[in-house]
Homo-oligomer: A and B are copies of this chain.
Amino acid sequence: MSNVLRRTSVALLCIMYYALCVNAAEVKSPNGNIVLNFSVEQGRPVYSVTYKGRDVILPSHLGLELAKDKHASAQFSETDLMDGFSIENEETSTFDETWQPVWGETRDIRNHYNELAVTLSRKWTSQPPKSANGAQLAPRRHNRTIIIRFRVFDDGVGFRYEFPQQPDLNYFLIKEERTEFSMAGDHTAWWLPGDYDTQEQETQECRLSEIRGRMQQAVNWGNSSVAVFSETGVQTSLQMKSQDGLYINIHEAACLDYATMHLELVDADTKHLSEKLGGGSNAYTPDPKPSDYPLPKPFTFVSHLTPDATGLKGAMQTPCETPWRTIMVSDDARDMLSSNLILNLNEPCKIEDTSWIHPTKYCGVWWEMIVGKSSWNYTDEFPSIKLDQIDWNSVKPNGRHAANNEKVKRYIDFAAKNGLDQVLVEGWNVGWEDWANMWKRDVFDFQTPYPDFDIKMLNDYAHSKGVKLLMHHETSSSTQNYERHIEKAFQLMNKYGYDAVKTGYVGDIIPRGDHHYSQSMNNHYLYVIKEAAKHHIMVNSHEATRPTGLCRTYPNLVGGESARGTEYEAFGGSRPDHTCILPFTRLQGGPMDYTPGIFETKLSSWSDNTSWARITIAGSLALYLTMYSPLQMAADLPENYEKFDDAFQFIRDVACDWDDSRYLEAEPADYITVARKAKGTDNWFIGGKCDENGHQSIVRLDFLDKGRKYDCTIYADAKDAHYDTNPKAYTITRRVVKRGDVLKVKEAPGGGFAVSLIAR
């Protein structure tokens, strides 16, 4: 599992050039279903998209508002890249290659698109100041060119702005990107409230016209939202469904050194963009200024970037480009899940030797702290601590510290016995006594273990059993502090044999005023990934910005959180349909460390926590298939798994890297069924997960090898299973199957099923 070849083969590369003096262009997807039109109207770039002749994006403007830079000379007072454009050149080309990811849902990924690159020119004249002798100098002519590049795939469209290096555009500040996505109707949307710092809310489902009315509830219901910017601001990836059955998804790809994009919906009540939402907002956030440009028509989303501490959206140096803005579209919901459009829009792998990158199944000293039965911190002796002023060997232990030698050894034993690769240990390092929300800069050093965590002994012990420990670096969002210690922290990992780190960004960003999804923070996350790669360390980044497919370029980014994960089952719980939405939204940009596998869903059965997970055991097993990730946790306690060892067998067996994947059934927030072929084997695994209504799944085994027999084990909900009243009722059925057989499995409310198919 640990060595995955990465080969890129260009199957077909055919480029056609032509240059025309026109003001419109059209490009189609390879299969002709998707048509993109581009034109310049009254100097403003406009695009539209259709799918099988039906409107996906109505004519929508493109452009960026720039901020005046105090350093720029007067001749650049013409700052905007919004209007005054004419088409200077158009190029179309076709690209078709098949590449192999280091890890993924399929062995091969086809990257096939038709491209349109439009060069736009914006000319103006400036009047230089008078010369020293009072002479009036001749007016100066200026010309700025930008390129808008469209790629039209069979499963959607990607486009971005490119800024070539040029005398009149070297450095610029972005006031706001003004990319519009004009919807053709009052679609149903699955959305999160726009927020600069968290994506951990519950997903809202409603018509576009209902978003404004639902916003306050969305904010209050979810995680405490600290930086909501608009009454109609939503996050991406945004999944929609038109009333006539078109599935449309808007997100972005390859967000590198650029602010994360949100979408702001123009509705009938919109007076100007970026209306400030009362309550729950961050008092320290500068108010985004409303835009000067006229509002587009209702049901249009306009991009809204995450600001820096000054309210600006980005500082750019040419040559550069924005991330790709992506629009996935199909009349089959399954195509939303099998699409590789976002990965394809990212750059190929930049890590030469990827032999050290490997999918990983792990357990961890984690859930019992999340539930509240034990603690990350070692002592309760002090109202606050300063790392350089504590003698840890003489402080009074609180007796609740989870990351102790004895417990960690028990987890190592459990991992070794059950074929799990690694053991995550949170709370191993000093600083947890007052780690969060104190505006405390020097909160962790990432190097000093608590006295009851013998880092050398425990790593040696784990290695002797064929297991590795998984490092944890909670930064408390004090990014400067993390960067100051990162090199030594990674050296420590190398010294003791860790090869993966879970990073965390809980709380407000330090430096104060910055946000989790700003340009500078996105640069920070990438910095960590690159520095980790130098040390052959895989990264699993929690509370970081939502992913945009960068794992293709940097496959040591093996996972992330950036959504409402399993931890919320201990914080009041998530709706049963939550995991039937995430693959349509959060997972579009890359795998999520969802940490599934809670078997004892009623936490009060073993703790004082009254929260509970709205899922059956069979449903929990399904998540190892439906929530694709090369990093899969068995999140529950060893003693809870030991009570259901026959069901746990599936977690022991299931792969976490794949040669093939087939999405068999899918409907957002209702159900997802997927079959996957384990990497380098002939074995298949199937998972089906449904919402609170249950689901009758019918699985045709027409993907199996012809003439071959498979030992099939079906982990299903018992007849009377129910996520609330009877979550632990499951059946395990064994039979022998062959290609063409049909499995009919009934999923309980909040339930699901899992199947292993071992080739004979």
Contacts and interface: CB of A to CB of B under 8 A. Distances in A.
A484 interface: yes
Contact of A511 (B282, B383, B484, B511): B511
Contacts of A487: 487
A195 B70 CA distance: 17
Nearest to A439: B315
A277 to B, nearest CB: 15
Interface residues of A, number: 44
A520 B527 contact: no
Interface in A433-453: 434, 437-441
A170 B386 CA distance: 11
Contacts of A171: 384, 438-440
A286 interface: yes
Interface string A353-395: 0000000000000000000000000000011101000000000
Nearest to A68: B283
Nearest to A479: B480
Contacts of A282: 70
A317 B434 CA distance: 11
A69 interface: yes
A175 to B, nearest CB: 12
Contact of A384 (B308, B318, B512, B514): B318
A483 interface: yes
Contact of A383 (B71, B167, B382): B167
How many copies of this protein are present in the complex? Answer: 2
Contact of A170 (B383, B484, B514): B383
Interface centre among A173, A286, A310 (most CB of B within 10 A): A310
Contacts of A69: 439
A312 interface: yes
A43 interface: no
A309 B480 contact: no
Contact of A483 (B170, B434, B484, B514): B484
Contacts of A383: 165-167, 170
Contact of A309 (B170, B434, B484, B512): B512
A129 to B, nearest CB: 17
B527 A309 contact: no
Interface string A482-497: 0110010000000000
Contacts of A68: 283
Nearest to A514: B511
A513 interface: yes
A17 interface: no
Contacts of A513: 308-310, 513
Nearest to A281: B70
A300 to B, nearest CB: 30
B309 A384 contact: no
A512 B441 CA distance: 18
B310 A512 contact: yes
A484 B527 contact: yes
Given A284-B310, A318-B384, A512-B315, A437 B71 contact: yes
Interface string A299-312: 00000000011111
A384 B165 CA distance: 8
A20 B167 CA distance: 74
A138 to B, nearest CB: 22
A23 interface: no
A98 interface: no
Given A309-B511, A512-B312, A384 B70 contact: no
A441 B523 contact: yes
Contacts of A315: 439-441, 512
A602 B59 CA distance: 65
A440 B226 CA distance: 29
A87 to B, nearest CB: 24
A81 B309 CA distance: 27
A410 to B, nearest CB: 35
Interface string A165-196: 11100110100000000000000000000000
Contacts of A438: 71, 170-171, 317
A384 B318 CA distance: 8
Interface in A237-288: 282-284, 286
A410 B165 CA distance: 39
Interface centre among A165, A438, A520, A527 (most CB of B within 10 A): A438
Nearest to A280: B70
A173 B439 contact: yes
A433 B534 CA distance: 29
A483 B648 CA distance: 47
Interface string A467-487: 000000000000010011001
A715 to B, nearest CB: 40
A371 to B, nearest CB: 20
Contacts of A317: 384, 386, 438, 440
Given A170-B384, A384-B170, A70 B283 contact: yes
Contacts of A382: 165
A244 B480 CA distance: 51
Contacts of A512: 308-310, 312, 315, 520
Interface in A283-334: 283-284, 286, 308-312, 315, 317-318
A170 to B, nearest CB: 5
Contacts of A441: 315, 520, 523
A258 to B, nearest CB: 13
Contacts of A480: 480, 483, 520
A309 B282 CA distance: 14
A146 B167 CA distance: 58
List of 8 A-B pairs having minimum Cβ-Cβ separation, nearest first: A309-B309, A309-B513, A284-B310, A315-B439, A310-B513, A71-B437, A170-B384, A171-B438
18 contacts: A69-B439, A70-B226, A70-B282, A71-B438, A71-B439, A170-B384, A171-B384, A284-B311, A308-B513, A309-B309, A309-B511, A315-B439, A315-B441, A317-B384, A317-B440, A480-B480, A483-B484, A511-B511
Interface of A: 68-71, 165-167, 170-171, 173, 226, 282-284, 286, 308-312, 315, 317-318, 382-384, 386, 434, 437-441, 480, 483-484, 487, 511-514, 520, 523, 527
Given A309-B513, A310-B512, A480-B480, 9 more contacts: A170-B383, A308-B512, A309-B310, A312-B512, A483-B483, A484-B527, A487-B487, A511-B511, A513-B513
